[in-house]
Amino acid sequence: MMTQTMIAPETLEDALAAMHAEPGSMALAGGATLVAMMNAGLVEPNSLVALRHVDTLRGTRQLDDGGIELGAMRRHRETALETPFKDGQTVLSYAASQIANPTVRNMGTLGGSIAFNDPGADYPAALVAANATILIVGATGTREVSAEAFFVDWYTTALEAGELVAGVRVPAALVGSIGHYEKLARIAGDFAVASVALQVTWSGDSIAAARIAIGGSGPTPLHLAEADDMLIGTGADSDALSKAGLLLAQAADPVDDVRASADYRRKVIPRLLAKAMREIAPAREAA
């Protein structure tokens, strides 16, 4: 039996050293995901490295180019309500505001959530739609991975043993773009049956640029450049939108589970996309 310990280092260096020293140790951020899985007997860490005191993992940093860096320990509540997102970057605050419930949003963190890559979680699709970069630290240094490459498989990310999510960099979105997160869940706060995260730039009534990611519908968020491109030059309720929705539905690889069947999930993807687009379409002039 290995010794099970919990340590709460003050610095990132100490945290990484502790992760490295004890193979099988896991980082404890807010506990909203990890402790729930421990309670269910699904995950049994040898030891835990609590990140609560590591101040460098908190807070946000505005970058000169309009990007924002969010620390891994940023709570969902802070991401939802207190982050100065601009333009399409707001896809992240919309997603954060729909995670679980207000109390869990006081606890759960950005890094903790994405490190699990739960297929029903809200951040993964939003980060892919925002074209974000995941900042990873390990004993041997730091590296950056695009959100698209970070989510690898069911509950699996690009994190190697001993590595931590340090934060996320959200690039500046196109000026005037709109961010939106449309989630279908059995009740508010449940994991998504399916979700659509998007950034759209309108030029009058037609779409000048779009980036769509589907959540809850496969091992990783689904993003198809082909689907994005199909929308360019079209309107909020065009054939192209239905076709893009169908293309995404066909490419999805959803599970059958208590929340919904795989077929149902495929069926709702185009509808969720259409709904999301209607929500953010420019208001029609009264005839």
Partner 1 sequence: MKFEDSFVVAASPANVWRAITDPGVIASCLPGCEDIEALSPTSYRAGIRVEVGPIKATFRVEVELTDQDMPNFVRCITKGEEGTRASMLQATSELTLRDIDGASTEVAYDSDVSVTGRLGKFGLGVMKKKAESLGCTFAENFRVQVEAA
Partner 2 sequence: MTEMVTLRVNGREHPCRAGIATTLLTVLRDQCELPGTKRGCNQGVCGACSVLVGGKPVRACLTLATDCEDREVTTIEGVGTPARPNAVQQALIDTGAVQCGFCTPGMVIAATALLEEHPDADIETIRQGLSSNLCRCSGYRKIVEAVSLAARRTAS
Touching partner 2, residues 235-274 (CB under 8 A): none
Strand partners, 184: 194
Instruction: Select from 156, 189, 159 the least CA-distant residue to 76.
Output: 189
Interface positions with partner 1 (CB under 8 A): 26, 37, 40-43, 116-117, 119, 153-157, 219, 253, 255-258
- State in angstroms the smallest separation of the CB of 156 from partner 1: 5
Residue nearer to partner 2 on the CB measure, 48 or 277: 48
Binding mask 82-111 for partner 2 (x = CB under 8 A): ------------------xxxxx-xx----
* 96 contact partners, CB below 8 Å, separation of at least 6: 76, 77, 79, 80, 105, 110, 122, 123, 126
Can you read off the two tokens belonging to residue 49? 């490295």
Cβ count near 19 (within 10 Å):
25
32 binds partner 2 (CB under 8 A): yes
Contact (Cβ atoms closer than 8 angstroms) between residue 212 and residue 196 = yes
Residue nearer to partner 2 on the CB measure, 106 or 250: 106
Q: For strand 25-28 and strand 47-50, is the pairing parallel, antiparallel, or unpaired?
A: parallel
Strand partners, 138: 141
Residue nearer to partner 2 on the CB measure, 107 or 247: 107
Binding mask 182-221 for partner 2 (x = CB under 8 A): ------xx--------------------------------
The three-point CA angle 266-271-276 to 5° equals 125
* Binds 6: which of partner 2, partner 1, none (CB < 5-8 Å by kind): partner 2
Binding site for partner 2 (CB under 8 A): 1, 3-6, 8, 28, 30-32, 35-36, 38-40, 44-45, 47-48, 50, 52, 100-104, 106-107, 188-189
